[in-house]
A and B are shown apart, each in its own frame.
Chain A
Amino acid sequence: MSPTVSFARRHAWYLVCAVVVMTIPLYVSDAYYLSVMAFMGSKFMMALGLSLLLGQAGQISLGQAGFVGVGAYGAAILTTRLGFNPWLAMVLATVLAATIAGLVGMPALKLKGYYLAMATLGVNEIIFILLVQLKGLTNGTDGITSIPSLTIGGLDLTSPRAYHLLVWGVALLMLRFALNLSRSRVGRSLRALRRSEPAAESLGVDTSFRKVQVFMLAAVFASIAGSFDAFYVHYISPESYTITLSIILITGVVIGGLGTIWGALWGTAAIVILPEILKRVNAGFTNLVFGLLLIAVMVFWQGKTDNVAMWLKGLARRRTAQAPTVRGSSGGDDG
């Protein structure tokens, strides 16, 4: 088998997905739907980071929206007030988000379960309060307007089409990175510490270091997504970065399936497309449905299998073979 063929075979799903996503602007011309798709790209980045943290390492964060806010406000403040180049502003905002995540993560990740969830919720809430209260810097609830666009060599990336390609281009790179990571030694050690921290530690995994590392990585993904959104919409205000967004991201990762990187993609599609459908009836139904889905997924799957697809497969197998199914192993993702 030639190297090209084996490469294509190994990465079939990833390549199919990349081609489909990157050609969407060819057959979708409606600006609204293109924008929805582009926002899906940035939501996917946030969900991807959370998927590594929650799905792979088993550490919950109810505060991802706070880091999205740091990315958005960092980018906005640096460009509008200090005249920084947007790309540089994005990088600096990301460094800031990673620093905050590191400083918060070191003590917070020593906590387990409920305490970690509440601590991250608290961090989200404090970031939100600061965004509202530091009026000199953030304009408070009025938000920041006229944020410049991203440009590449004089090419303005404001059109929905260009923005779609840019955001999904970056999101696909992040997906590749996450897939590679989950199949690497790091990914295996993350899954090991999810199952049992003492066991992972006894095998030589530095669990506290790994947890902080993946927490920072999730914050970086969230921050980059936040910056992209800010440059596209040109306007940001604090209420976009409340705990509600954090919980919606959790919903995405949970619907897609904990323990699989690809799940973040299906989950993101669900949390972006469902509201678009539900708002035709009543936008108020969105969170109701999300909440019910969170409960239903937990109650019906109870962490037994890693995702919906595996559960269906298990059902089908039981039907055909009438044999007890073996719990699907949560190995690295193919792609």
Chain B
Amino acid sequence: MSSAQFLQYVFSGITSGSIYALTALGFTLVYNATDIINFAQGQLVMLGGMTAAGLRGFGLSLPLCFLGAVATVAVVSVVFEQAAIKPLMGKGVISQIIATVGASFVFEAAAMLIWGRDAKTLSPFTGDTPLRIGGATLVPQTLWVVGATVLIVTALQVFYRRSLFGKAVRACAVNPMAARLQGISYRQVVLVSFVLSGVISAAAGVMITPISFMSYSSGALLGLKGFAAATFGGLGNPVGAVLGGFLLGLLEALAVGVFSAGYRDAVAFVILLLVLFIRPVGLLGARVADRQ
């Protein structure tokens, strides 16, 4: 592999890695607040991309499409939380898994009924003239994706570390009961976490649509990879989620270079299974894996 080729794979890895990082963050936010893994997380990413592409079809400007998609998914997240998560808090892992798996089916089928079976795309945010760096090419959209990811991660860190509400969310992640005794509204924390998680997922979906097509069925794979990234980095740890996302993206891109593109999707699952079997707490593991 020449250095230019290698660089090309790194660029591609960082791009998809950003999306996995954001999806993994979505999992982490919900998991920390509720101890629930949302099996419909990937479908929220898909809904973001599809809504933006659909709005674009009505001739809306790109920033409006972005905002529209994020707002739509935020509303969907609220409805989802109220209808399916709230009644199932503390009702056992199996029922939570089944309900969120059901939601993933609902989102997918709804997207198919609304936008059809065809894959959709979106024009890049700022043109598609590729930049040439060290013999490799870089589409400007990549810079948007990576830049926005860095921005979102930083903003989240500030929110969690500095704001009172962010501290309340962290308190609930450690011990919901003790947090409530301090007067923190656990219900509010859960709702906000779901909305934030939905917003981040939707943003990831809109940003990736110009690079790789989006269709109603794209969500399942995105969700699995996001979960693989979150587990890789250490489930429940936001820094781990971002690290896991980028590492997964890079490993995937290199696997394409070394093996073949067909096995690209298998990388995430092999990593997921290896992490689960060998070191379930992940790289920066903060929690033990048998925690339900």
Contact = CB atoms under 8 A, between A and B. Distances in A.
B273 A119 contact: yes
B269 A288 contact: no
B109 A286 contact: yes
A285 to B, nearest CB: 7
Interface in A29-70: 54, 58, 60, 62
Interface string B70-110: 00000000000001100110011111111101111111111
A125 B265 contact: yes
A22 interface: no
Interface in A95-132: 107-108, 111-115, 117-119, 121-123, 125-126, 129-130, 132
A291 B103 CA distance: 6
A295 B263 contact: no
Given A122-B269, A125-B224, A287 B108 contact: yes
Nearest to A254: B98
A6 interface: no
Contacts of A121: 224
A111 B97 CA distance: 14
Interface residues of A, number: 46
A114 B227 CA distance: 10
Nearest to A133: B262
A291 B83 CA distance: 13
A21 interface: no
Contacts of A82: none
B276 A119 contact: yes
A60 B97 CA distance: 9
Contacts of B95: 298, 302-303
Contacts of B112: 284
B98 A294 contact: yes
A101 to B, nearest CB: 14
Interface residues of B, number: 48
Contact of B269 (A108, A125, A287, A292): A125
A107 B269 CA distance: 15
A258 B92 CA distance: 14
Contacts of A288: 105-106, 109-110, 113
B13 interface: no
A112 B231 CA distance: 14
A129 B280 contact: no
B37 interface: yes
- The list of the 6 closest CB pairs from A to B, nearest first, reads A294-B102, A291-B105, A291-B106, A113-B93, A288-B109, A122-B269
Interface of B: 37, 39, 83-84, 87-88, 91-99, 101-110, 112-113, 220-221, 224, 227-228, 231, 260, 262-263, 265-266, 269-270, 272-273, 276-277, 280, 289-290, 292
24 contacts: A58-B94, A60-B98, A107-B276, A112-B289, A115-B289, A117-B39, A118-B272, A118-B276, A122-B269, A122-B272, A122-B273, A123-B273, A125-B221, A125-B269, A126-B273, A133-B262, A285-B109, A288-B105, A291-B107, A294-B101, A295-B99, A298-B95, A298-B102, A299-B83
Given A113-B292, A292-B106, 13 more contacts: A112-B292, A118-B37, A121-B224, A122-B269, A133-B262, A290-B105, A291-B104, A291-B106, A292-B102, A293-B102, A295-B83, A299-B87, A303-B91
